[in-house]
Structure formats: structure tokens, C-alpha cells
Amino acid sequence: MALSSRRTARRLAADAGLLAVAAAFVLPLAWVVLSALDPRAGLRVKAPDGLTLDHFDAILTDEITFTPLLNSLVLCGGATALTVVSAALAAYPLSRFRSRLNRPFLLTILFATSLPITAIMVPVYALFVRVDLIDTMQGTVFFFAASQLPFAIWLMKNFMDGVPKELEEAAWTDGASSLQSLARIVLPLMGPGVAVVTVFSFVMMWGNFFVPFMLLLTPDQMPASVSINDFFGNRGMVAYGQLAAFSIVYSTPVILLYVLIARRLGGGFALGGAVKG
């Protein structure tokens, strides 16, 4: 009886902890949704004083929303594609070939993932000025990709290790090159892994404020992660309703990306029966 009571108490404590964590995530989301529809939005989470779409009407303009969102898609989409391709090419020899340099290289890039962006932005800024990449979209894309590449290589290698090498050996016997076997066998079979790397890289770049704020100077090139700062006025004045509406629109591309590849994320490696017989 006492053991059952202790188990019940532990279960209730675990449930209470999970509810507290869930509330910590739900309350900010509830504020965003409610404030976007509240004509007198403030910092409090409360039921709207009526419903209005005026906040959305105020932000849905080229200058406030559409141009920054397009800039974000160009920056993050281009950098994500570059990151995924580079990570696959870098992870392939680390996964398939044994060398005494593999472990030191992996430890080096693991160390690179721990470096804070703020610690390297000053030399990066000086370098970009010297090579004439400051205030350019391509320069920001390159730095975005470089900053995400170390962790992307780690993820890609771990997923690539799960694809049996025997499948590639059969392709090599038929005359395929290593690059062909990577593109036609390994990457299709590790589709969920590629999807994870894609989503992780895109999300990390999408919410990055500091990098484009430092490397881009022209207002017309600023992404949405920087332009959202315009809703914070002087002397603590904040347009809470418009900020909430912009936050919903700003989150839409990430949600759509996840929905589009959710089936790939939920699937396993398509290896059933591939190495039998």
C-alpha cells in the first residue's frame, strides 16, 4: 500500500512538472495569438477586448513584411542548401573511410560548434570588409552556412553511418563512382537524416538576429529577424498588437517547412531487405 502511494505521488509530481513546462511554452504562444486579434493588446495574457484584423492590415505591406520575408527566404534558403550539400560531401569520407585524422577533425569541428558567434564577429566583420563582402547577400549566406556547417557535419555523419556500405559496394561493382553512389544510394536512403539537417539549419538561421544585423547595412536587404526590431519604439513604446501579428506571419515559413517534410522526419531508413539474400 505504501509503495503504491509513493508511486502515485511520484506520478503526480512528474505530471505537475510536465504541466509547468507545458505552460512555460503555451503562455507565450497564447499571448501572440490573442494579442494579434486584440485591438488593445498589451503585455498581459488575456481574452481580447473584441476581435480585430487591423494589426494584420497594418503590417501586410512590402516595406514592413513582404520584403523582409523575401530577404529571409533568400538568405536562409540559400544558406541551408549550401550547408546541406557541403555537410553531405564532408560527412561522406568521414563515414566511409578510416583515417587517423578522422577523430581529430571531428573533435575540431565539435569545438567549432561551441564558439559563440559574438566572439568571432569582430574578425569576421574585418575580413568581410577587406574582401568586399560586407553588406552583400552572398557574403551573409556564406557566413550563415559556415556557422551551421560544423554541427550539420556531425548530424549528417551519424545518419550516414546507418546506411550499409554493402549497398555502395554493389554500385561500385556496376561502375558507379563514389559521388554517384552518394547521390543515388546513400542520400535517398537517409532521407530522414537529410530532412533533420535541413530543418535544424533553416530554423537556426531563420531566427538569427545578430549575424545579418552586423553584416548587412542596407535597410532594403534586412531580413525579417532584424526588421522585427522596428516594432520596438523609443522610450519603451512597443506596438504589441502589430508585433504579435508580425510574429505569426514570421513563423509561417518555418511551420510550413516542417509540415512539408514531417512525413520524412517520421519515417525510418528505407533499408528493409536491401542487404538480405
Global confidence as pTM: 0.83
Beta bridge partners of 238: 232
Residue 35 lies in domain: 1-51
Q: Write the pLDDT tens digit of every residue in 90-125.
A: 998 888 888 788 788 888 877 877 778 888 888 899
Specify the pLDDT at position 265. Answer: 61
Specify the pLDDT at position 128. Answer: 93
Residue 32 grid coordinates: 501572440
State whether 17 and 127 are in the same domain.
no
Q: What is the mean pLDDT of residues 225-250?
A: 83
The answer to whether 151 and 113 have CB atoms below 8 angstroms apart is yes
State whether 77 and 35 are in the same domain.
no
State whether 102 and 157 are in the same domain.
yes
State whether 40 and 119 are in the same domain.
no
State whether 75 and 39 are in the same domain.
no
State whether 26 and 94 are in the same domain.
no
Dihedral of CA atoms 26, 30, 32, 36 in degrees, nearest 10, equals 170
Specify the pLDDT at position 231. Answer: 82
Specify the pLDDT at position 122. Answer: 87
Specify the pLDDT at position 9. Answer: 79
Work out the mean pLDDT of the chain and round it to a whole number: 84
C-alpha 109/C-alpha 150 separation (Å) is 5
Q: Tell whether 193 is covered by a domain.
A: yes
Q: Write the pLDDT tens digit of every residue in 260-271.
A: 877 656 544 444
State whether 5 and 122 are in the same domain.
no
How many residues are there in the chain? 277
Q: What is the mean pLDDT of residues 154-164?
A: 88
User: 266 or 70, which is more confident?
Assistant: 70
State whether 10 and 128 are in the same domain.
no
Q: Tell whether 162 is covered by a domain.
A: yes
Q: Tell whether 222 is covered by a domain.
A: yes
State whether 97 and 196 are in the same domain.
yes
Give the total number of structural domains in the chain.
2
Residue 44 grid coordinates: 498581459
